[in-house]
Amino acid sequence: MQPPHQITREEINNLVDRSYAKVRLDPEIGPIFNAAIDDWPAHLSLLKDFWSTVLLTERSYKGDPLSKHLELSLDPAHFARWLTLFAETAREVMSPEDAEFIIGKSHRIAENFKAAIAYNRGDAPPLSIFRAPVPKP
């Protein structure tokens, strides 16, 4: 799925800067982020590369974001709060169509991260395997 129009690197930079300014000040998730990140300018640059890779497919991000999140004590409420702040900011700085596109991407990424964290903690439910019906002869 492609965004409604070509999202620019400047738009991504603005989204990242503004959303993480909110995250850093947020009483619920700010302390987690502020304790984990020593160099905010470097981290913001990394996040801009990540989102540019996700949205522009420019492959500027080189890293493993999941492993970094596995090191943190995150629970579903933390993801929900981050998603709320990110969506709020996307709607402030992007066109409505682009904001919804980016919000959708963020939700899919968060769902994957939450599932991996649950699995890593041993909290994941057993996987059910879908088997296609076998046609009768």
Kindly state the tokens that stand for 30. Answer: 């700010």
Q: In which residue are the tokens 């943190």 written? A: 72
Please state the three-class secondary structure of 94-122 as a single string.
CCHHHHHHHHHHHHHHHHHHHHHHHHHHC
What is the reported pTM? 0.82
Identify the CATH class of 9-119.
Answer: mainly alpha
Q: Which of 11-20, 63-72, 107-116 has the lowest mean pLDDT?
A: 63-72
Question: pLDDT class for 116, splitting at 50, 70, 90?
Answer: confident
The neighbour count for residue 35, using CB atoms within 10 Å, is 10
Task: Write the pLDDT tens digit of every residue in 121-136.
Answer: 777 665 555 555 656 6
pLDDT at 104 over 90: yes
Distance (Å, whole) CA 103 – CA 97:
10
The neighbour count for residue 86, using CB atoms within 10 Å, is 22
Please state the three-class secondary structure of 7-19 as a single string.
CCHHHHHHHHHHH
Task: Write the pLDDT tens digit of every residue in 33-77.
Answer: 999 999 999 999 999 999 999 898 777 777 777 677 767 778 889
